[in-house]
Each structure stands twice: as C-alpha cells, then as structure tokens.
Homo-oligomer: A and B are copies of this chain.
Amino acid sequence: MGQTAVLAVDVGGTKIAAGLVGGDGVVSRHTETPTPATELQLSEALRALLASVVEGVAPSAVGVASAGPLDMDRGTVSPVNIPAWRDFPLVDLVSGIVPGVPVTLVGDGIAAAVGEHWRGVGRGAASMLGIVVSTGIGGGLVLNGAPYPGPSGNAGHIGHTVVDPAGPLCSCGATGCVEAYASGPSMVRWAQRHGWTGADTRVLAADAGRGNAIALAAFDQGTQALARGIIATATVCDLDRVVIGGGVSAAGDVLFAPLRRHLRRLATLNFVQRITVHPSMLGRQAGLLGAARSALRASQNLATGEDPTRDGDHVAVQAAGQ
C-alpha cells in the first residue's frame, strides 16, 4: 500500500467519510462520522478523521469530493446543506493535514458518477449519467469514458431540469424541476397532501412495497418526472447508461419498476430508447471511489508532465505545505 494508495474524502451534509484507495479501487480503513453543525467542530472532525486514516501510511495524493457549490479556482466550498461552510477553504485544510501531496477537489455528483464508472455498474459505459436521489437530486456525467464536470464544474444538474412548467415550485425558483417531484421529501409531501400519514421516505417506500395506493402513486409521479429528466438528458447527451444511487434508490423496485415503465412509455427516439437504468452498485462508497479516481488521474498526469486537468476532471491541484 503506502506510496500507491490515495486518500479519498467525501464531505456531505449528513456524513464525512474517508478511506485509503489503491490503484485497483480497493478501499481500506473506510471510516465515517456524522457531519457536525459548526465550522469549528466540522474542521476538527475532518482533521481527526483524516489523521486516523493516514496514520502510518504516506498517501501519494488526496481526492476530495464535496457537496456544492464549489469554487474550483480557489478550492473553496459552500455546500447548500452544510451552512457552517461558506467559501470554506477545504483544499487548504486538507493540504494542511496531509502535506506535500496534490489535493484534487471534485463535486459530489460527478464523484459518484466517476466512482460507478470506475468500479461499479457504470464500467464500460461510453456515456453515463449518475444520479443521486436523496434529500435533493444531484448528478454527474461521464462522457466519452471521461468525467465531464463542465467549465464551471456544474454539469449533470438533472435535479433542476424543468419537466413541466406547470409543476410545483422548486427551491431554485423555477417550477416543475425533477427535484420538486422526485426527491425523497418531494414524494413524501405529495403523499401527505393526498392523505398519507407517514413521516419519511423510508416509510413511504415500505408502504409502497406493501401496496399502499397513495405511496405507489407518489413514486409513480416522482419517477415519471425523473424519467422525463433522464430522457431530456439522453436526448442532448446521447447517453447509453444511467446509474441511480442515493438514499431513495434503496427503495429498489418501488422506484425502479415505475421509472423503467415511464422511460419505455416516454422515450420516442431510437438512440434514447437504448439507455439502460441501473441501481448503484457501490452505494455510499461511490463518492469516495470517484474522489480517489480523480486524484489518481490528476497525479498520474502530474507525474507524466501533463496538465492535471487534461481529462476534463475539473480539479484544483495544489502542492501542500506552502
């Protein structure tokens, strides 16, 4: 291990995870902790977590996946669901903990997509959309076999494609976004408005699995919107595969059966009809593996004298300990 492993970090609103990842994608010392609420606690928790993971080893590089928005040029993050961090210098913090190696920053949506493409159910896909269905809906694209974060690092925002202008108001200000129908809280709200009395997505999925009509209808309207978003993305991006992870994807057939039915019903163009939809294989490790993969690519490019961002990884690489 030692020199060849990279340190992978995944910072989300619910948990912080880290681990050592070899060039073969094997994860060791996988550790996670709930995300603390204050800036000081958060920095301390991250410091303690990383120190425990790298104890006695010298990772060759660090990959950090973070909820966004990210500022790639400055290496700072302002995650919507981590209010304690606004323009927080995450790359600097990590560089301080693991000095002397390049640190690569990547968005959590694209990290999950890259992870699935590298070691999960996305392997071999030419053009893949990874979707994370959870409290919100995020996504990331792998195009021509390489990560595609886009010039601003925001590509793959399928949660905010509008599928029906007459639809419900979304937190982004638009109406009818995929997220306003298909996120966990959106489906729960829809069900509650229609008389369902449960509290959260997990119960909604269980009730749908038991045949509760309102719960089934909630997943039906949510997956119809998700199918429309996938079809719109495939129509412009010419996708061949879609991988869906995140908490809500744990609902399994309750989510995937109506989603596939809507896709079959709504896709009209041949090249869109060819897409296949798969549940995430890596689950919560997808982001960690995607962060590791991005770090491996960046340090490989650095070692051969290439631009570390040449593969379209929108990364901020900086030598630590300056």
Enumerate chain A interface residues (CB-CB to B < 8 A): 69, 126-127, 139, 141, 143-144, 148-158, 160-166, 170, 172-174, 228, 231-233, 235-240, 266, 268-271, 274, 312
Contacts and interface: CB of A to CB of B under 8 A. Distances in A.
B235 A160 contact: yes
A257 to B, nearest CB: 21
B162 A228 contact: yes
Main secondary structure of the interface of A (DSSP, over half): loop
Contact of A157 (B155, B158, B236, B240): B236
Contacts of A238: 149-157
Contacts of A139: 236
B231 A162 contact: yes
Nearest to A170: B268
A150 to B, nearest CB: 3
B144 A312 contact: yes
A238 B236 CA distance: 12
Contact of A232 (B151, B162, B312): B162
Q: Considering the complex of A and B, which 3 residue pairs feature the smallest CB-CB distances, nearest first?
A: A150-B238, A155-B238, A126-B151
A150 B165 contact: no
Contact of A166 (B69, B149, B166, B237): B166
Contact of A165 (B228, B239, B269): B228
A236 B152 contact: no
A237 B240 contact: no
B165 A271 contact: no
